[in-house]
Amino acid sequence: MRVKAWGTRGSIAISNVDSVEAGGNTTCYEIMSECLPKGARLFVDAGTGFVPAGWHYLDEIANGLHYYIMLTHYHWDHIVGLTLSPPTFIDMVPMTLYGPMDNGHGPESMIKHLFSRPYFPVDAKKISHKIKFITMLDYDVRVVIIHPIGGFTMIGLDDYKNILKKNVQVSLNKHKYLLSECMVIKMAKTYHSNANCISYRFEENPTEKVAVIATDHEDVAALSSELREHFADADLLIIDAQYDDHRYKTSTAGFGHGTPHGSIKQGIICRAKKIGFTHHDPQSTDRHLRETILQEAGTAIYKIKINDEFLETYELKADDITLTENDIYLLRDYNIYEV
């Protein structure tokens, strides 16, 4: 499994000479896996990074190109790419949008508002016929299962656990397949102010690799048991580290975004093997990301290792913490990361 970063910037897209390394596209990630059916392209969010992602695969239309987009939430920087990405307007390219219900709006309602005058010239009625909308009301007790031949399905967490317990095959499109051949997507709610925001966990069963994407997530005093299980043993944890420590403490606490220290703390608690920072602040230059955000991450590892109260609380020893500065990096637009 690999993850391609089409957009790693947070809040709003930017373009300036001091921010070219990380890039300026807003959130859009592609999950690349042999578990996906032929023609399927799987994404998390559709910020402005979804515009180049949409152009990139147009030569695959004849091969059954189908876009599956798992939306974390509906803030502008995570959906606005839908308005200018070619697949949105091409009838021959079906799209499936997954998303939560938030303040009375699911993915279908979001599209109706996003594609409406006077804010956008194309009406939702011109595109909705080619989009399948899946509103996830209780996503924390559901899983999405993907098989390269059987396709996509969503089942209850209890049914999934029974399949594991009984060691039976899973049904997809009237056929049965081994779960060991599938990718399983699990979901949990992040801490993102007043938004209903989803973190996605991708478990590639054939390789036993795990990637977690937790954009728009703020560190809080303690990590819930649900998120501890959700982040647990991730080979790659992609997590929000938008604000440096000073800015967070003086002005942005409660905004629903993370810090290097908070993200490293959660990664260590959950035994993440690699951590990639995302949702870079629009004011963060490449230099700030390198010299402040990354440096604070390295300092966080050191401080946590000598924090006896922390180690005792989470039943850790300093030697148990194997995460190093080499395992932490800034995610950059258009880069591909091996899980």
For residue 118, say if its preceding peptide bond is cis, omega within 30 degrees of 0: yes
Per-residue pLDDT of 127-174, as tens digits, reads 999 999 999 999 999 999 999 999 999 999 999 999 999 999 999 989
What average pLDDT does the structure give for the chain? 97
Residue 10: what residue type? G
Q: State how far the Cα of 228 lies from the Cα of 319, in Å rounded to an integer.
A: 20
> Rounded to 5 degrees, what angle do the CA atoms 268, 251, 314 make?
20
Cα 27 to Cα 240: distance, rounded to the nearest angstrom: 11
Give me the pLDDT at residue 222, please.
84
Domain enclosing residue 153, as ranges: 2-338
Instruction: Record the tokens describing residue 238, joined without a space.
Output: 């992609």
What local confidence, expressed as pLDDT, does residue 228 receive?
96
Q: How far apart are CA 314 and CA 308, in angstroms?
A: 10
For residues 97 and 67, give the distance between their C-alpha atoms in angstroms, rounded to a whole number. Answer: 8
Distances (CA, A) of 152 to 37, 128, 193: 9, 20, 31
- Output the pLDDT for position 220: 81
H/E stretch holding 154: strand 151-156
Question: How far apart are alpha carbons 213 and 65 in whole angstroms?
Answer: 24
Model-wide pTM > 0.85: yes
pLDDT at 54: 97
Q: 235, 339 in Cβ contact below 8 A?
A: yes
User: CA-to-CA distance for 1 and 267, rounded, in angstroms?
Assistant: 20
Burial grade of 160 (CB within 10 A; 0-12, 13-18, 19 or more): buried
Domain total in the chain: 1
Query: Among 328, 338, 313, which Cα is nearest to 260's?
Result: 328
Nearest to 130 by CA among 85, 105, 94, 155: 94
Q: How far apart are CA 211 and CA 55, in angstroms?
A: 25
* Collapsed DSSP state (helix, strand, coil) of residue 126: helix
- What are the pLDDT digits (tens) for 51-95? 999 999 999 999 999 999 999 999 999 999 999 999 999 999 999
DSSP secondary structure of 195-257: S--EEEEEEETTTTEEEEEE-S----SS--HHHHHHHTT-SEEEEE--S-HHHIIIIITTSS-
Residue 327's pLDDT is what? 98
What are φ and ψ of residue 183, in 5° steps? -100, 140
8 Å CB contact between 176 and 128? no
Divide the 339 residues of the chain into consecutive groups of 10 and give the mean pLDDT of each group.
98 97 97 98 98 97 96 98 98 98 97 96 97 96 98 97 95 94 98 95 98 95 91 98 97 96 97 98 98 97 95 93 96 98
CATH of the domain at 309: 3.60.15.10
The type of residue at 320 is D
